[in-house]
Structure 1
């Protein structure tokens, strides 16, 4: 069934069931369905339809989710705008053929509304309020399979976020959006996401990807109010949350405060966004119980593999998981030759829901998509049991004395030391060696890492070129707007 038909069908099937809790509001599935139809009618009246592009920058609300689905029902290309873009990046994103921009009273800004038709969810000066539209009837899907459904953006670590074009056909084959063909892992997630903590931004593919099992599986998405306390763990206690996604830095903070809140309602915590060491993953599962999942994926490919609580309970903590059904992995050497099981190389992914390409960037698309396979630029191997192991990124390298040094293996060696909880490695220019390795470590509770011992450990495991020039102890890692560790901010501390 063409996306978003399965969602519309699920909303019709249980109209009285709560779909969202937003503060004191309960919004039923029937109300969301009516809202999608009304917003679709308003968007159609504003000239939107198949092939037209709607840029969306809103807070996380039931209305905002309905607006996304209304635009998809019409067959629009939804351009998700993350919060925090500097002006240059915002101009870059808005320059991708946008026909209209949708905001709400909390996000409206002149630099957003200068592109195309200005639309809003609520009263905003200079924008047409879609919520005042009298109605559009039951929503119908007029999308075309090979049109682009969404542009979701990479983090912009190179300075310009790349727009990953995801087609309606791809979303129609997506592991999360088709409940009739859910794998046992997807069905289990849907059950555990009975009360799903929804936060962040709907412009994130990860947020939407894991919201799908909740809503399609009959659960309720809970949008927490800001009460001044950390979201994790206190929103879990306050709202009796059963499932959520979480970044690695947030997981570490949660574990530090786990004893201050009641987490007994929790049944699924999906850890994603950056690698986590096996020791810390096992410790998280021991502390929180059989609720910890680990996901591996990319904006270009969606979620590729998943490690379940059952895997972790069996002692499988080194890999990042097994691929979803329909996802194929190929590990290749520098010449593109396929490597056997157990050999490390660059990971290629093929699935029905990988991106069609980077919007407006044919050269980068040709370099990334190879005969139906997507280059992840991640390094790793697949073991005999089908688990994927990561070893670092091809671009996360430091050139030391003209030798390629990968950050990932150094980070794993450092986190393997009992005195270290977290480790982050980055390179910086160096007059003597061209670039030098710099490491930042967060100590384990009550421990004081010895820099000489850590350097000796890296030398013994990886060789002299991999030994960090500096090893700096930090109380925690700064995070980017996307919630990922910010290595640039760490380097600024040197």
Structure 2
């Protein structure tokens, strides 16, 4: 029988109270101290009138206390809304505006038009009960996406879904999961606790007996990995590429690094090979979504056994069923390209204020991503059904154009955006980051796209950039690339 969320974590903290849970420079917070902080915050939140199904917006820095107040609200059965630091004032107000209480620390200013605000430093009182009060069908978390649209979506998870989450189900961890957990002895915790993927892997670290290591200042890669003796880290593709660029110039001692999980956007195969060469078998390629958590994982061992898997994102992860289907929802055979559907017990319930029914059917979730599964069960992504450019009424997937460009050995990264065009309805515009700052043959890049996808898919412009702009989430910021297209148009008249 599933233990109600967040009981597995509370039990893990109580079982080994003297082991470190968090490390911040010279400050070490033991598991017992973290558990007491959770209990103290639970008592204080209860004293402020919060209870089952109350809504608590939380805007804090990356600290043990910021994590503890999230868990304490879950103990009470509250609906927790983490508020990320990268939101505009209007977005932050909309995210936090429906909450009964907003909790902030010294790193975050109060939010305009927010409800009653409690400062974390003022939450004190008698420790409260740590018996989880969340009801299975109540919403436990509203996790906002990174904001590829003007307003991030609020992804709702129930207490039942959180209880079934792979990272929390230690009793059902497979041998692969346990092996990965062993690599999380010292997990680098940075960025924001509002990130669903960061919370997912923080829980994995703590439940597996590891320590979350928080850098004192914004981390400088790869130096931070060496200096803090990090064994596990989450990386976006742009961040991994910057690490590889640095390692080309100056080696770093990364012998302690055992898991560098790269996710968030496609990683070209030649970059993954370079990562294996420069970093080693610590590198893992992952694929997942805020709505589902981690879905697949690719390891160096997978690639050693099946070299063709280097162009994939791996096999389905613990508790994940995966199928590729056509537009009518019919399952496609091995090797056929279609939309990726997944089924997992910890999938989201829906979007706040929106109808999620078109994405869910009989327990299955439509990812809106495109791909195929090969004979060995590896998933190969080919694009996103949402990321398209419609040229002369024909749909062209940006991901497919990006893959064609990235196959050129002179190109490290490729990104495509679409803009309105008077002649063709829309036009594709490509941006490429080159190896060692070189200059690629643009005509050869156009020819590669033409040969693979046809003349209509050839980008109207191909621009070489030093690095891709990134959003607050660390992912490539395509809205910023659209701005570059607009700047170029104004400059050229």
TM-score by length of 2: 0.94
Shift of 1:88: 2.4
Query: In structure 2, what is the equivalent of residue 454 of structure 1?
Result: 445
Match of 1:43 among 26, 31, 45: 45
Q: 1:285·1:312 contact (CA, 8 Å) conserved in 2? A: no
For 1:79, what is the secondary structure of its paired residue? strand
Q: 2:6·2:163 contact (CA, 8 Å) conserved in 1? A: yes
Shift of 1:446: 6.1
Shift of 1:309: 2.6
For the pair 1:109 / 2:110, whether they are aligned, the reply is: yes
Q: 2:101·2:116 contact (CA, 8 Å) conserved in 1? A: yes
Partner deviation per Cα, 1:268-306 (whole Å, 9 max, x = no partner)? 100011111111111111110110011111111111111
Instruction: State the alpha-carbon separation in 1 of the partners of residues 198 and 165 from structure 2.
Output: 14
For 1:101, what is the secondary structure of its paired residue? strand
Instruction: State the alpha-carbon separation in 1 of the partners of residues 117 and 47 from structure 2.
Output: 13
Match of 2:88 among 86, 99, 112: 86
Partner deviation per Cα, 1:73-112 (whole Å, 9 max, x = no partner)? 11111001111211222232124x311101001102241x
Shift of 1:237: 1.3
Moved more, 202-211 or 157-166: 157-166
Query: In structure 2, what is the equivalent of residue 125 of structure 1?
Result: none
- Counterpart mapping for 1:190-205 below 5 A: 190-205=181-196
Q: 1:446 to 1:477 in 2, by over 3 A?
A: closer
For the pair 1:66 / 2:68, whether they are aligned, the reply is: yes
Aligned length: 479
Instruction: State the alpha-carbon separation in 2 of the partners of residues 185 and 233 from structure 1.
Output: 27
Partner deviation per Cα, 1:419-469 (whole Å, 9 max, x = no partner)? 111111111111211111111111112642011111011111110111111
For the pair 1:424 / 2:423, whether they are aligned, the reply is: no
Instruction: State the alpha-carbon separation in 2 of the partners of residues 117 and 489 from structure 1.
Output: 35
Query: In structure 2, what is the equivalent of residue 221 of structure 1?
Result: 212
For 2:281, what is the secondary structure of its paired residue? coil
Query: In structure 1, what is the equivalent of residue 244 of structure 2?
Result: 255
Q: 2:61·2:107 contact (CA, 8 Å) conserved in 1? A: yes
Query: In structure 1, what is the equivalent of residue 118 of structure 2?
Result: 119
Instruction: State the alpha-carbon separation in 2 of the partners of residues 420 and 331 from structure 1.
Output: 30
TM-score by length of 1: 0.94
Query: In structure 2, what is the equivalent of residue 323 of structure 1?
Result: 316
Query: In structure 2, what is the equivalent of residue 126 of structure 1?
Result: none
Unaligned runs of 5+ in 2: 489-493
Instruction: State the alpha-carbon separation in 1 of the partners of residues 60 and 272 from structure 2.
Output: 34
Query: In structure 2, what is the equivalent of residue 8 of structure 1?
Result: 10
For the pair 1:409 / 2:411, whether they are aligned, the reply is: no
Moved over 6 A (4+): none
Instruction: State the alpha-carbon separation in 2 of the partners of residues 446 and 32 from structure 1.
Output: 47
Unaligned runs of 5+ in 1: 123-128
Instruction: State the alpha-carbon separation in 2 of the partners of residues 378 and 161 from structure 1.
Output: 18
Query: In structure 2, what is the equivalent of residue 346 of structure 1?
Result: 339
Shift of 1:257: 1.5
Instruction: State the alpha-carbon separation in 2 of the partners of residues 73 and 185 from structure 1.
Output: 30
Q: 2:62·2:214 contact (CA, 8 Å) conserved in 1? A: yes
Match of 2:32 among 7, 30, 35: 30
